[in-house]
Amino acid sequence: MAGALRAAGVIAAGFVLAVAALLPWAGLTAEFGVIDASLTAVRGVDEGPGWVVLGAGIAAMLLGVLGAMRNWLFTGLAILPGAVAAFALAMFLADPRDLVSRLDFQVSGLLRVHPTVQYGWFAGLLASVALAVLACAALLRRR
């Protein structure tokens, strides 16, 4: 029974991870004195790391299903897609030349435009951490 709950948790975390790849990961924020306005958004699947996160979420869901149907070890193996997703999320932020170099500018005291990390990236990070914790719990519980 507990193994099925862990597998269901892995399936849910994998689903959230896959959906997070479709959400906005970065955007362009303009500050006009005291007013902030969001201008554009880059979804996860607009860049290569987003496709990796989407694939990792689907793989984690499949491993969760196999863990529920066959063997608890498949549930524990879901830690691998979770780690790959966390690495892809880090690589998205580690490549600043694409967003920062073309989007960051300011007019002193009047206007400042800069890229920001948005909620989809944080949802993906949270889902990848939850996936890793649930997969570890499945592995440690069966020892």
pLDDT tens for each residue of 97-119: 555 555 556 666 677 777 778 89
- Asked if 24 and 42 touch (Cβ cutoff 8 Å), the reply is yes
The domain limits of the chain are 2-25+43-97+118-141
CA-to-CA distance for 48 and 52, rounded, in angstroms? 7
Q: What local confidence, expressed as pLDDT, does residue 48 receive?
A: 85
Q: What local confidence, expressed as pLDDT, does residue 75 receive?
A: 87
From residue 30, give the alpha-carbon distance in Å to each of 6, 24, 40, 55, 63: 43, 17, 10, 33, 42
Q: What local confidence, expressed as pLDDT, does residue 82 receive?
A: 93
Query: What is the C-alpha R_g of the chain?
Result: 18
Q: What local confidence, expressed as pLDDT, does residue 30 receive?
A: 72
Backbone angles phi and psi of 114, in degrees to 5: -150, 155
Q: What local confidence, expressed as pLDDT, does residue 109 receive?
A: 67
Q: What local confidence, expressed as pLDDT, does residue 35 receive?
A: 65
Q: What local confidence, expressed as pLDDT, does residue 101 receive?
A: 55
Backbone angles phi and psi of 31, in degrees to 5: -115, 115
Q: What local confidence, expressed as pLDDT, does residue 131 receive?
A: 93
Q: What local confidence, expressed as pLDDT, does residue 86 receive?
A: 93
Q: What local confidence, expressed as pLDDT, does residue 88 receive?
A: 92
Q: What local confidence, expressed as pLDDT, does residue 16 receive?
A: 95
Strand partners, 30: 37, 113
Q: What local confidence, expressed as pLDDT, does residue 26 receive?
A: 82
Q: Low-confidence residues of the chain, pLDDT below 50? A: none
Q: Count of alpha carbons within 13 Å of 129, Cβ hemisphere only?
A: 7
